[in-house]
Amino acid sequence: MALTQTKAACSPHLYNGPADYNKLCADLDADCKAANDALAAKHAALLAELKAECERQKGILAGKEDTHAEEKSDVKVETMDVSEARETVSEFAHCRPELAEAKQQLAREEATPNDSSDDINRECKAKKLVMEKESCVAKLIAAEAVLAKEDAQHKEESHEEGQAASALPPQEEKVRIACQAVDDLGGVPTANCRQGDKEDALLRQADQYIEDLLAEYLRQKAILEGQQSDHSDEKADVSPERKDVAAAKKEVAEDAHCPPELEKALAELSKQESIPDETTSDIDAECQAKQAVLEAQACVDRLRKAERVLVIEDQQHAEESREEDQAAAKLPPQEKIVCELKAALDAARAARKSLPCGSEDSSPAPAPAPEPEKKSGATRATVTLAAVAALLCALVQA
């Protein structure tokens, strides 16, 4: 019976990849847009904060009493004398622009996906730097409050003397530093979404689906056409297949603890994220929780991949048993295998047409490759597909 006559009776179930890569591409676009929107919002808030500080310092220089009043702080200023306050203001004048730069860097790190331990460590380091600069600015504000109080006392004694003091060069320098921070902030940064790498990975994996299916289709078709002994093929195939299944069983046994550990790690991360970052220990605890989630998720991914291998193996055995029991089946077993592989190959090629992401026209399906050399130990297509599916699943979750 010709394949063209039996194609309608076949299912493409051996292709278990995405049917619509456009959706995956759109999800990547949406995630990156959300990251850039969040980054733009943080930049706007920081810019407004810096502009307000620039205007505040200009007001102090102009001698406005209402602006001086804003210099008052809840900090106990009596712990610092005027001389010490002047030294502190001079020493820590750089803190405000450095805090702005640190916040900008932290925003960029937060917009970068935590795909690795290095990503988490960089974000952790950026948070600590912001905390350090905030402490520096707090000291500066306390010292400025002392000088503001001293300046107010001078005004009561001599209005002219107070005005002269407010226009001294140190205040002019504070104005310069505060307003320069506005210019130094620069434009809105762009989030490092790693979108190009993820789009390229989608393309490579789509091609891998086609390559694996094509190789297995040609192998099974050769068996059907009598070019290769079915019996000898099965003998060559059984050894690596048993190794794959044995390895999967071992993986399942070793990683069975991972799902509950992932749940525990996620709960701990949620707890740590709800605690305000008031100390470096708080930041370290949150970063450690993120690392634990990353490790537990990788463990669960390995477990799910191994489980899929065992499920496919069970399905293969069930299918073989049914074919043996149903002698009057509509299609002969080998012809059915070839037909379903062809349907799966067509489905994989149809899905591939929407790639690469952002392309205006559909990409042409890869041309059929010449029949590969028959090698002993060839792995069944369904087992190979499970590994590819696991990789794609991990990519989409990133």
pLDDT, tens digit, 9 for 90 and up, residues 215-229: 889 988 888 887 555
Question: Is the per-residue pLDDT at 381 higher than 70?
Answer: no
d(Cα 223, Cα 19) in Å, to the nearest integer? 29
Number of H helices, E strands in the chain: 14, 0
CA dist list (Å): 124 to 35, 179, 282? 18, 29, 10
Question: Is the per-residue pLDDT at 155 higher than 60?
Answer: no
Q: For residue 67, how far is the Cα from the chain centroid?
A: 45
Q: Which residues contact 284 (CB under 8 A, 6 or more apart)?
A: 124
The per-residue pLDDT for range 17-30, each reduced to its tens digit, is 888 999 999 999 99
What region, left, alpha or beta, does residue 358 occupy, with left being phi > 0 and alpha being psi -120 to 50 degrees?
left
344 versus 68: which is more confidently predicted? 344
Q: For residue 129, how far is the Cα from the chain centroid?
A: 22
What pLDDT was estimated at residue 160? Answer: 45
What pLDDT was estimated at residue 321? Answer: 59
Is residue 180 within 8 A of residue 97, CB to CB? The reply is yes
d(Cα 131, Cα 127) in Å, to the nearest integer? 6
The per-residue pLDDT for range 256-290, each reduced to its tens digit, is 999 999 999 999 999 998 998 889 999 999 999 99
Is residue 212 packed enough to be buried (19+ CB in 10 Å), middle (13-18) or exposed (0-12)? buried
Q: Write out the two tokens for 398.
A: 């990133």
Percent of the chain with pLDDT over 70: 70
Nearest by Cα to 336 from 312, 320, 348? 320
Q: State the sign of the Cα–Cα–Cα–Cα dihedral 133, 139, 142, 147.
A: negative
CA dist list (Å): 64 to 2, 136, 163? 94, 26, 9
Percent of the chain with pLDDT over 90: 27
d(Cα 88, Cα 286) in Å, to the nearest integer? 33
Nearest by Cα to 144 from 83, 204, 86? 86
pLDDT band at residue 69 using 50, 70 and 90 as cut-offs: very low
What pLDDT was estimated at residue 227? Answer: 56
Question: Is the per-residue pLDDT at 383 higher than 60?
Answer: no
Nearest by Cα to 345 from 17, 4, 9? 17
For 196, what's the count of Cα atoms within 13 Å in the CB-facing half-sphere?
2
What pLDDT was estimated at residue 264? Answer: 93
Is residue 17 within 8 A of residue 208, CB to CB? The reply is no
Mean pLDDT (whole number) for 326-331: 47
Is residue 371 within 8 A of residue 260, CB to CB? The reply is no
Q: What is the DSSP letter of 354?
A: T
Rg (CA), the chain: 33
Collapsed DSSP state (helix, strand, coil) of residue 151: helix
Question: Is the per-residue pLDDT at 100 higher than 60?
Answer: yes
Exposure letters 293-319 (e unless 16+ CB within 10 A, then b): bbebbebbbbbbbbbbbbebbeeeeee
**Of 205-219, 231-245, 298-312, 364-378, highest mean pLDDT:** 205-219
The per-residue pLDDT for range 205-214, each reduced to its tens digit, is 899 989 988 9
Strand ranges, E, within the chain: none
The per-residue pLDDT for range 353-373, each reduced to its tens digit, is 999 998 764 444 444 444 444
pLDDT band at residue 322 using 50, 70 and 90 as cut-offs: low
Residue keyed to tokens 């620039």: 54
Residue keyed to tokens 């063209």: 4
Question: Is the per-residue pLDDT at 378 higher than 50?
Answer: no
Q: For residue 79, how far is the Cα from the chain centroid?
A: 47
How many CB atoms within 10 Å of residue 26?
12
d(Cα 148, Cα 163) in Å, to the nearest integer? 12
What pLDDT was estimated at residue 34? Answer: 92
What pLDDT was estimated at residue 238? Answer: 43
Q: Write out the two tokens for 24.
A: 């995956």
Question: Is the per-residue pLDDT at 89 higher than 50?
Answer: yes
Alpha helices in 326-370 (DSSP H): 333-352
Is residue 57 within 8 A of residue 96, CB to CB? The reply is no
Q: What is the DSSP letter of 275?
A: S
What pLDDT was estimated at residue 154? Answer: 62
Which of 38-42, 81-85, 359-363 has the lowest average pLDDT? 359-363
Mean pLDDT (whole number) for 116-124: 91
What pLDDT was estimated at residue 288? Answer: 92
